[in-house]
């Protein structure tokens, strides 16, 4: 299917990439469907693009690449929204929203409110915790060298 994007032009996406967000996400409560589109083969970065609004495109990253100790604990009601039954969290994928400024080295990740997707039911939420030790702005690159190292490390995978 086709997806219109102000930023990226017309994209050809697979229906399997479309995720339902029953309550939207904070700030975009009316956007109920987003396409999650991987960038490149290594799939560390993803676009999260609204299906309804061509202007709304966020960038996601797999947090564990940049923050190996990152943890998310979801309460039961969120798991229910995601359609996770019992202990079966196998299909859950965790992403964080990046803010990419003009100087990309200052890119930050929102670790406070992760995006969690059940890939089996293709349902997603942006989790708003009751309390957290994380903030909405964690720099993902310590310095230029760290960036190089990470890129190299990923290439080795």
Partner 1 sequence: MLILTRKANESIIIGDNIRVTVIEIQGDKVRLGIDAPRELSVHRQEIYEAIKEANRRAVLDGRGLEELLRQVNLEAGKKGGD
| DSSP state, residue 133 | S
Tokens 């994209």 -> residue: 11
Q: Is 52 in the site for partner 1 (CB under 8 A)?
A: no
The pair of structure tokens assigned to 80 is 């229910």
Taking the complex as a whole, how short is the minimal distance between the CB of residue 98 and partner 1, in angstroms? 7
Q: Is 73 in the site for partner 1 (CB under 8 A)?
A: no
Residue 47 neighbours by CB under 8 Å, 6+ apart = 8, 35, 36, 37, 39, 57, 58, 59, 60
Taking the complex as a whole, how short is the minimal distance between the CB of residue 42 and partner 1, in angstroms? 8
Q: Is 43 in the site for partner 1 (CB under 8 A)?
A: no
Tell how strand 45-50 and strand 92-99 pair up. unpaired
Which segment (12-20, 66-74, 84-92, 98-106) binds partner 1 by CB under 8 A?
98-106
Nearer Cβ to partner 1 (27/68) = 27
Q: Is 64 in the site for partner 1 (CB under 8 A)?
A: no
DSSP 53-107: -TT-EEEEE-HHHH-TT------HHHHHHTT--TT--TTEEEEEEEE--SSGGG-
Binding site for partner 1 (CB under 8 A): 7, 23, 25-28, 39-40, 42, 45, 47, 55-59, 77, 80, 97-104, 107, 110, 112-113, 126, 128-132, 135-137, 147-148, 151-152, 154-156
């Amino acid at each position: 299917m086709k997806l219109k994007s102000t930023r990226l032009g017309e994209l050809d996406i697979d229906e399997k990439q479309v995720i339902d967000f029953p309550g939207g996400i904070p700030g975009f409560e009316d956007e109920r469907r987003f396409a999650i589109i991987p960038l490149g083969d290594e799939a560390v970065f993803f676009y999260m693009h609204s299906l309804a609004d061509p202007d709304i495109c966020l960038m996601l990253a797999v947090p564990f690449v940049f923050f190996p100790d990152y943890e998310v604990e979801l309460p039961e009601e969120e798991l229910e929204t995601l359609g996770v039954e019992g202990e079966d969290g196998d299909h859950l994928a965790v992403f964080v929203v990046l803010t990419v400024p003009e100087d990309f080295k200052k890119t930050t990740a929102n670790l406070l409110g992760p995006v969690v997707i059940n890939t089996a039911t293709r349902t997603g939420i942006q989790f708003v915790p009751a309390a957290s030790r994380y903030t909405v702005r964690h720099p993902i690159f310590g310095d230029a060298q760290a960036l190089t190292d990470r890129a190299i490390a990923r290439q080795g995978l």
